[in-house]
Amino acid sequence: MNLKTEPNGKVMVVMVREERLDAHNSNELKVEMNRLFESGTRDLLVDLKEVRFIDSSGLGVLVSGFKNASTHQGSIKLCGLQTQVKSMFELTRLHRVFDIFQTIDEALESY
Amino acid sequence: MKNHIDIKITVPNQTRYLSLIGRIGENMVHELDSFPGDREALGQHINMVLTEALVNAIKHANSTDPNTEVQISINADDKELVIRVYDNGQGFDLDLVPGCNCPDPLEEQGRGIYIIRSLMDSVVYRKANGGNVLEMKKALG
């Protein structure tokens, strides 16, 4: 899976550079988020702007990250959701769980 | 003009084929010239349904054995789209899978069947061909 992780101020930004986030590749995002929280990251922003398709496994990995953030007294926010990805969040009501922003800049301003 | 498509695919029991199968279903929808609705949205939904059904067969029905195979059939005419995903595993009880109601948002698993049921008109899991089949239908008319 193509992930790019870089800090922006106190926020760690993970860019998911894949068209799909599904049962085949989503565990790699879970491992990366776990690694970041275990190594002291508090605030994580996941940029999904290149993701056109997300399945239940991809959604589950983000929920796992949400719970992991809570365990570490941190936070996880999302940005760049394409229309279909956003509709899956709405179908599963996860749009009520996550703080979701249109752009990375809007998300960074929220901290 | 008659609009009837019949596709049969066999793939190894591995998640690396999810993208391929999903794209085949999505591209097929774009060929349904007589469908009066939003073909873009329907194509994305069929991509989703095929992905979820294939994952279900791989992880839950075929016990993640990469040496087995999953068979998929996609049939469409002017009135209906029918997707069948066959597995050779122990199977599962569809009625015991959380799927009628939206799962707890903080659960990490259990959304696949709910998503399929939300996007299709009927979903049945039954014995077939010595194994099982997940049969999903969507009206096109």
Q: What is the pLDDT of residue A22?
A: 97
Q: State how far residue A24 is from chain B, nearest Cα, in angstroms.
A: 5
Separation of alpha carbons A101 and A81, rounded Å: 8
Nearest CA to A54 among A30, A98, A24, A34?
A24
Using the predicted structure, report yes or no on whether residue B96 has a pLDDT greater than 90. no
**Phi/psi at B125 (5° precision):** -120, 120
The region that residue A48 occupies, defined by phi over 0 for left and psi between -120 and 50 for alpha, beta otherwise, is alpha
Separation of alpha carbons B141 and B138, rounded Å: 9
Residue pLDDT, tens place only, B24-40: 999 999 998 888 899 99
Q: What is the pLDDT of residue B102?
A: 76
Mean local confidence (pLDDT), B29-52:
93
Mean local confidence (pLDDT), B66-92:
89
Question: Cα dihedral sign for A77, A80, A84, A85?
Answer: negative
Residue pLDDT, tens place only, B114-140: 999 999 999 999 988 888 999 999 999
Distances (CA, A) of B139 to A17, B31, B48, B82, B120: 35, 16, 17, 9, 8
**For residues B75 and B26, is the Cβ–Cβ distance under 8 A?**
no
Q: What is the pLDDT of residue B98?
A: 62
- Touching check for B106 and chain A: CB below 8 Å? yes
Residue pLDDT, tens place only, A28-57: 999 999 999 999 999 999 999 999 999 999
Count interface pairs A-B at CB distance under 8 A.
71
What residue ranges define each of the domains in chain A, with the CATH number in brackets?
3-109 (3.30.750.24)
Q: What is the tally of helices (H) and strands (E) in chain A?
A: 4, 7
Q: State how far residue B112 is from chain A, nearest Cα, in angstroms.
A: 6
- Sorting pLDDT into bands at 50, 70 and 90, what band is B100? low
Of B44, B51, B106, the CB nearest to A67: B106
Using the predicted structure, report yes or no on whether residue B66 has a pLDDT greater than 80. no
- Asked whether the beta carbons of residue A56 and residue B47 sit closer than 8 angstroms, the reply is no
Q: Which residue of B has its CA nearest to A97?
A: B105
Q: State how far residue B2 is from chain A, nearest Cα, in angstroms.
A: 31
Q: In a mutagenesis test of the B interface, which of A54, A57, A62 is the best target, namely the one with the most B β-carbons within 10 Å?
A: A57
What residue ranges define each of the domains in chain B, with the CATH number in brackets?
5-139 (3.30.565.10)
